[in-house]
Chains A and B, each alone.
Chain A
């Protein structure tokens, strides 16, 4: 299929250049074997108007104009904008240049790319931890939602053996949730030492649960298992003929033994006391401390929008779900939703502070915000970091603090607004929604106050 270009030509009087440029582009395109449609905005008015379909099919857009031509309808297309004379002088190289242009990444694609780039650029311990967390999340989501549904039958309904609520609790709580820390630990080790790391990692994770070392213990056992396997692989040298037994016999047995013993005799007990202190503190926290914690988690969530600081807060809150502490999770998810939501709201109330592209992106930011994809704020922050980042941090801090103040809880570590209708997934739902709206409004107002008007 031949390439297709759409073009717009225009000039101040609209008498001659507009048409000469259009004709020249058509001639050049014909010579190059390229499909072209040229809209002329001249004295006769707009002729050969580009339809939405034309623009959709086009590989590139050329605007040859001495006047301002509205670019908004070419969103997401490579646009080459040149003075009208250029198309009269050398239309051929214009077309070639336009076709070589990179397609500007759309807003959602940009976010996806940032996601991927960030995952790819993670190194060392952070990368391993995030691998573990990413494998763990779906277990927690599935478990959390099923437990919540069980509660929908009555908070103690699961105690009646043989009933559906009991079954749901057995699936969600007894199985999916029970696997959470072993999976976290196992895939941290897997990230470090590949397949052989999985066995001691998961076993170590089970031990973290049974010794009461919780998610902190699970993180430690994961790293321990990974590095132990790495060490064993390097230090044990078997004769060639026996190499086959390394992955099936030697590595699993030795690594489980080492990791297991360390977990039981060395690591388990101190980590358990730390976890006990932590969970007791979190459970019995004063309102003032709760608000402070929410504030800090909120600041962390917005600070780097999905980066390491954000993930630290997120991992902390998710890990606590295993210890049946649900309030920080609520604060963290809410605070992670408000940055894109606040910016989306700002694009509505203060259009003059945003570029056309940003106003367009604002629409998608709503969706990313309600889906708890904090990264949705990045394109805005990248364009104007010193005004945007403080604004989203302020909004998220307010949301985090409010969520903690109202004692909102969340049993599911992801899903954004879509988990809110699930009965019992969220505790104190009305005030939770108020918290999210509060931070959204704070961010929007602050961005509006800080950002300068965009010259258009």
Chain B
């Protein structure tokens, strides 16, 4: 299994239009909805939003990883988006987020998918991955950036 199994090329948007937290989450959800991966987008948005209320997923370093677990998710998937000017995401470091990973996980999910997501989460912690993502100007380059093996242990 590779990153492409959970992040489809069509779910990568290098030029997000939204300017606020709520709408960017909805924009990313629509990418997954278009691929037929989510049955009920309202329901899924609700799950993500509830999760966001516990504490923000704006983890700083310009990254946000809104995520939700819901029965309206058909299979685990990720949508990626970039916003050149940045969006306020209540980040831990107070700075706007530029890179967005929306993670959708079904209520009962396949372990392999979850492992991929955990690997993806780990990768975001590496500076070189973040740099490559920031520089990526095609969907293919985003996938390449996320395919690099960087695990420390």
Contacts and interface: CB of A to CB of B under 8 A. Distances in A.
Q: How large is the interface on B (under 10, 10 to 19, 20 to 34, 35 or more residues)?
A: 20 to 34
Contacts of A34: none
A434 interface: no
Given A13-B67, A89-B92, A40 B125 contact: no
Main secondary structure of the interface of B (DSSP, over half): mixed
Contacts of B68: 13
B108 to A, nearest CB: 11
Interface stretch (B15-23, B25-33, B52-60): B52-60
Contact of A15 (B103, B119, B124): B103
B117 A88 contact: no
Interface centre among B54, B117, B119, B121, by most chain A C-beta atoms within 10 angstroms, is B121
Contacts of B55: 66, 83, 85
Given A23-B121, A30-B152, A85-B92, A43 B59 contact: no
Interface centre among B67, B103, B122, by most chain A C-beta atoms within 10 angstroms, is B122
Interface residues of A, number: 25
Contacts of B125: 20, 23-24, 27, 88
A163 to B, nearest CB: 73
Contacts of A36: 153
B122 A22 contact: yes
Nearest to A88: B59
Interface string B51-90: 1001101011000010111000000000000000000000
A423 interface: no
B69 A20 contact: no
Contact of A43 (B114, B119, B153): B114
B92 A19 contact: no
B121 A19 contact: yes
B118 interface: yes
A85 B59 contact: yes
Given A20-B122, A30-B152, A15 B115 contact: no
A51 B115 CA distance: 22
Contacts of B59: 17, 20, 85, 88-89
Interface in A72-95: 83, 85, 88-89
B65 A44 contact: no
Given A22-B122, A27-B152, A30-B152, A88 B60 contact: yes
A401 B134 CA distance: 81
Contact of A20 (B111, B124, B152): B124
Contact of B152 (A13, A17, A19, A26): A26
Contacts of B54: 12, 66
B75 to A, nearest CB: 14
Given A15-B105, A85-B55, A88-B59, A27 B111 contact: no
Contacts of A19: 117-119, 121-122
A42 interface: yes
Interface centre among A17, A23, A30, A44, by most chain B C-beta atoms within 10 angstroms, is A23
A16 interface: yes
Contacts of B152: 23, 26-27, 30
B109 interface: yes
Contacts of A89: 59-60, 92-93
Contacts of A66: 54-55
Given A17-B57, A18-B118, 5 more contacts: A13-B68, A16-B117, A17-B59, A19-B121, A42-B114
21 contacts: A12-B54, A13-B51, A16-B101, A16-B118, A20-B59, A20-B124, A20-B125, A22-B122, A23-B125, A23-B126, A23-B152, A40-B118, A43-B105, A43-B118, A44-B115, A85-B59, A85-B92, A88-B92, A89-B59, A89-B60, A89-B92
